[in-house]
A and B are shown apart, each in its own frame.
Chain A
Amino acid sequence: MKTMKTLVQAVLLAALAGLAHAQVPQDLAPDALVKTVTLEVVELIARDKEIQSGNRAKLIGLIEEKVLPHFNFTAMTALAMGQSWNKTTPEQKKILTQEFRMLLVRTYASALAAYSDQKLDFRPLRAKATDTDVTVNVRVLQSGAQPVPIDYNMEKTSSGWKVYDVMVGGVSLVANYRTEFSNVVRESGIDGLIRNLQSKNRQPQPAAEKK
């Protein structure tokens, strides 16, 4: 039961530390970027009565604006597809990326809605200045439980540092989708996966708990 608890806690805290702010300078170091964006998002949510009373659309809008510009969704989709990515047409790639992005945004919104007042601990970056692929570590502190680490794998691109995977409690989001995706692709092909994601994204959001 205990392992189950930490496991699900990990999934729960997956999205917690939000990333992003369209106006942040592009040369910001990756750890500074994560911190700036996270604190801004947490602060915006704390001030917003509508989001706190369960306005999911507004929360998703906030994520779209502040967090998403700092994610590389094409890379995330490619990594989740694994070898199948090479057998995917450009048109399929576009739709897959779009649908996967929407699934992640909805999941992210659920996780952010579950965030209450846990303290965040932004760890110093363990990387050389010349590195172009780094992991930024944030920890969520809670009483009576081991801190939950949230790791952002980030890559330097021409438009700044971009997240290509999020790991919560050591669970890589991208790796977790890889098995799911390959199962569906094996059974019903890439178009089957697209249909699967589309119908998943059309389902209504589960009712959010009021705080």
Chain B
Amino acid sequence: MSFRFLLVAVVALAGCATTGEGDPRDPLEPLNRTLYEFNNGVDEAIAKPIATVYHGYVPAPLRSYVRNFFANIGDVFIGVNNILQGKPGDGLQDWARFVFNSFFGVFGINDVASDMGLEKHNEDFGQTFGRWGVGEGAYLVLPFLGPSTLRDGVGTVLDIYADPLTNVRPTGLRTTAYMLRLTNTRADLLDAGRILEEAALDKYVFTRDAFLQRRRNLVYDGDPPRESRPRYEEEEQKPPAEKPSTQ
């Protein structure tokens, strides 16, 4: 599997990656940038064109059914993770969602539970480790999978094991289901890709920082300690206290 290759590559590079100026959270930046470019290449060549065609031909309600179907089967392990994180109430809500949506939502293609006020959660094994106090470790870009960290990468291996699709047989059906889920997810992200193009000076850095902020927020279930706003001199256009800098 490519994971073993990745591990070897990471260890090999960790040995010689000692760049002075880099971000301390991203000691493997040169390798990560290479993988980021690789993933972008795969995306531009395959995933994005397919998703664009899919988005153009499949009407929005149908795409919503697909999204909800896969989101519904995901709720089972979201519930497991909530229980592992010591939140049995949230876990039971996830399973209640699964039951309601599977029956009243017709195999999960309608998210009736959300309409009933049972909100969907976002949990995975990486967040569970974070909740247990495991630090995120170095930032990693995983081939094909995208932004991650050492902690979340291990979590992702468990997520893949726990993914209901992983155990679908025959494998032909499993592959079809993977492809459908991937295509639908990518189609949902087409707008986001355009916004990233618009916003970022350096897409790699922008994506990395957004990912790290987002994961921290998720570990705290959206409610991290609030930091008060730092102050900088001269913000209110007061006269400068210093001489102009040497540029």
- Which A residues are closer than 8 A to B by beta carbons? 1-12, 14, 74-75, 78-79, 81-83, 85-90, 93, 103, 106-107, 110-111, 113-114, 116, 133, 135, 141, 143-147, 149, 153, 155, 164-165, 169-172, 175-176, 179-181, 183-184, 186, 189-191, 196-197, 200, 205-206, 208-209
Interface residues on B, range: 35 or more
Query: Roughly how many angstroms separate A81 CA and B234 CA in the complex, as a whole number?
Result: 12
Tell which of B201, B211, B216, B229 touches A197, judged by Cβ atoms closer than 8 Å: B201
Within 8 A of A (CB), among B198-247: 198-202, 205-207, 209-211, 213-218, 220, 222, 224, 226, 228-230, 232-237, 239-242, 244-245, 247
**Number of cross-chain contacts by CB at 8 Å:** 189
Given contacts A8-B192, A86-B234, A144-B68, contact A110 B198 (CB under 8 A): yes
Q: Is the CB of B230 within 8 A of A79?
A: yes
Task: Tell me whether A5 and B189 are in contact in the complex, defined as CB-CB below 8 angstroms, given that A11-B196, A179-B205, A180-B205 are known contacts.
Answer: yes
State in angstroms the CA–CA spacing of A172 and B226 once bound together.
Answer: 12
A191 with B122: CB separation less than 8 A: no
| Beta-carbon contact of B247 and A1 below 8 Å | no
B224 touches A184 (CB 8 A): no
Q: Considering the chains assembled together, what is the distance between the CA atoms of A172 and B195 in angstroms? A: 15
Give, as a whole number of angstroms, the nearest-CB distance from B166 to chain A.
13
26 A-B residue pairs with CB within 8 Å: A2-B159, A3-B152, A4-B147, A7-B210, A11-B192, A74-B237, A81-B232, A86-B234, A86-B241, A93-B237, A107-B195, A110-B194, A114-B195, A133-B229, A144-B111, A146-B119, A146-B120, A146-B122, A155-B229, A165-B229, A170-B218, A171-B210, A179-B209, A180-B200, A190-B247, A209-B190
Tell me the interface secondary structure of chain A in the complex. helix
A180-B122 CB under 8 A given contacts A1-B146, A11-B210, A79-B229: no
Of all chain A residues, the one with the shortest Cβ separation from B244 is: A89
Looking at the assembled complex, report how far the CB atom of A199 sits from the nearest CB atom of chain B, in whole angstroms.
10
List 7 A-B pairs, minimum CB-CB distance, nearest first. Answer: A170-B217, A114-B191, A8-B192, A12-B192, A143-B111, A144-B68, A144-B71
